[in-house]
Amino acid sequence: MPGPDKIKNPQQGIVREVYIYNATNLSDATQQDGFFTAIQTAFVTKVLSESDGSFKVKLPPGKYSVFVKEDKGLFANLYDSNGCINCVLVNSRKASWITLTVDYLAAY
């Protein structure tokens, strides 16, 4: 366990392909071992994140699900109260922020 003198390292980013679909509910995709496949909603676009993990993409207003591409499939680990996977709401002429935590190999 970290002690009071422990210095925390800043969060580090990773380079990954980020896949964006129309808002996807848990019932709209197959999940196995924490990875999603067979997503039934419309694929919108994909983008490669920068070395610090950041990415940006222009999207029309709407609600989207954001996934990270890994060897075993698409990864996402957040769901809203309606079961929407890694949802982000995009409004006209405004930036939307989402933090993606790729922690399936983490030990806490």
Residue 95 included in any domain: no
Average pLDDT of the chain to the nearest whole number: 89
pLDDT at residue 36 in the model: 96
Q: How confident is the model at residue 103 (pLDDT cuts 50, 70, 90)?
A: confident
Instruction: Write the secondary structure of the chain as one string of H (helix), E (strand) and C (coil).
Output: CCCCCCCCCCCCCCCCEEEEEECCEHHHCEEECCEEECCCCCEEEEEECCCCCCCCCCCCCEEEEEEEEECCEEECCCECCCCEECEEEECCCCCCCCCCCCCCCCCC
Residue 7 included in any domain: no
- Residue-wise pLDDT for 92-102, tens only, equals 989 888 888 88
Provide the number of structural domains found in the chain: 1
Residue 99 included in any domain: no
Residue 83 included in any domain: yes
Name the percent of the chain lying above pLDDT 70: 90
Domain that holds residue 40: 17-90
Tell me the average pLDDT across 66-92.
95
Q: What is the pTM of this model?
A: 0.85
